[in-house]
C-alpha cells in the first residue's frame, strides 16, 4: 500500500457524481456549469460529491479501473473527503496527493453450501443475527488460533477502515501504509480479555461459525450482506488498486495520524 505520491496529470475529462440529496445535487449543478461533465466511463477522473458512504459506493463502482476518485464533502462526517468549493478545482486536482489502497476479498459459504464473494474497502464484519451470542472459531493461514470466540461478532479491517467500525469496537488505528489488518472482536463475552490481533496483510483469515442453526451469523462486506453463513474467509486483495486523491496536507495518512491524537 503506497501513499502520498503527487499526481503529475492534468485532468481534462472530469465526471461529477453526487449523492441524491439537495446539497449533493446543488453542488453537482454548480460544478458542471463551470467545468463541464463527461460520462463517468470515459472520464479521466471522477469527482464524488457526498459523504463517506457515497465515497465508498463510488470506489466500489470503479473498483479495478484505477480511475482516480476525488471526493468533496456534501455529507456529514467526510473523513474520506476534501472540503467543498466550486472554485479552482482544476488547480486542486493538478496538485492533489494520491493514496493507493487495496480492498479485502471476502468469500462466504452459507448454510446451503452456496459461495458468495464480495470486496470491502473498510471492513468485513461477522454479526450475530439473534438474541444469542455468536460462537466462532478463528484460523490464520490454516492454523487454528482461537477455538471459540463468543460475542456479538468479529471484524477484519483495512488501514482505511481502521478509523470506522473498527475504532468504534475499540480496535487499533492503523497507519495507511501499514502492511497490516486489524482483527477485532465485537462485544466479546469469551474469552473476556481478548482484544483482537494485528495481522500481516498477506494473511488469510478463516472464521467458522459454531452452532450454525442455533446461533445464526451474517457476514457484511461494506454494503453487501449475506445471512446464515457457516464459513467466511478474508484476505487482502493486492491485485486491486483504488486511487483516492486529497488536497496537499490532507492526505489519508495525515487524517489517520490526526485521528490518533483526537482531532
Residues marked as catalytic: 52
Angle at CA 153, nearest 5°, toward 167 and 78? 30
Detail the residues annotated as belonging to a binding site. 52-53, 122-123, 152, 160, 163-168
Dump the DSSP string for 167-191: HHTTPPP--TT-SEEEEEEEEEEES
**Running DSSP on this structure, what letter comes out for residue 82?**
B
Task: Count other Cβ atoms within 10 Å, centred on residue 41.
Answer: 10
CA 263, CA 256: separation in Å to the nearest integer? 10
Other CB atoms within 10 Å distance of the CB of residue 79: 17
Which residue has cell 463468543? 150
Q: Which residue has the cell 497507519?
A: 175
Phi then psi dihedrals of residue 64, to 5 deg: 90, -10
Binding-site entries for NAD(+): 52-53, 122-123, 152, 160, 163-168
Give the torsion through C-alpha atoms of 182, 183, 186, 188, to 10 deg.
-130
Amino acid at each position: 500500500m503506497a501513499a502520498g505520491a503527487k499526481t503529475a496529470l492534468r485532468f481534462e475529462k472530469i465526471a461529477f457524481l453526487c449523492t441524491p440529496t439537495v446539497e449533493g445535487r446543488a453542488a453537482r449543478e454548480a460544478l458542471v456549469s463551470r467545468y463541464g461533465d463527461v460520462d463517468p466511463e470515459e472520464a479521466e477522473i471522477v469527482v464524488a460529491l457526498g459523504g463517506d458512504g457515497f465515497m465508498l459506493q463510488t470506489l466500489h463502482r470503479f473498483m479495478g479501473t484505477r480511475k482516480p476518485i476525488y471526493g468533496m464533502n456534501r455529507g456529514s462526517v467526510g473523513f474520506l473527503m476534501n472540503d467543498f468549493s466550486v472554485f479552482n478545482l482544476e488547480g486542486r486536482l493538478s496538485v492533489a496527493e494520491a493514496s493507493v489502497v487495496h480492498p479485502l476479498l471476502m468469500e462466504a459459504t452459507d448454510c446451503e453450501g452456496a459461495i458468495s464473494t464480495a470486496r470491502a474497502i473498510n471492513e468485513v464484519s461477522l454479526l450475530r443475527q439473534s438474541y444469542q451470542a455468536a460462537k466462532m472459531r478463528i484460523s490464520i493461514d490454516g492454523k487454528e488460533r482461537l477455538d471459540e470466540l463468543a460475542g456479538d461478532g468479529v471484524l477484519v479491517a483495512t488501514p482505511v477502515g481502521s478509523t470506522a467500525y473498527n475504532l468504534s469496537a475499540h480496535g487499533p488505528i492503523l497507519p495507511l501504509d501499514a502492511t497490516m489488518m486489524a482483527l477485532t472482536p465485537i462485544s466479546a463475552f469469551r474469552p473476556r480479555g481478548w482484544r483482537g490481533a494485528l495481522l500481516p496483510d498477506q494473511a488469510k483469515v478463516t472464521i467458522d461459525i459454531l452452532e450454525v442453526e442455533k446461533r445464526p451469523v451474517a457476514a457484511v462486506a461494506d454494503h453487501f450482506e449475506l445471512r446464515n453463513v457457516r464459513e467466511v474467509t478474508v484476505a487482502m486483495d493486492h491485485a486491486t488498486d483504488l486511487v483516492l486523491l486529497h488536497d496537499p496536507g490532507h492526505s489519508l495518512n495525515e487524517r489517520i495520524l490526526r485521528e490518533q491524537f483526537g482531532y
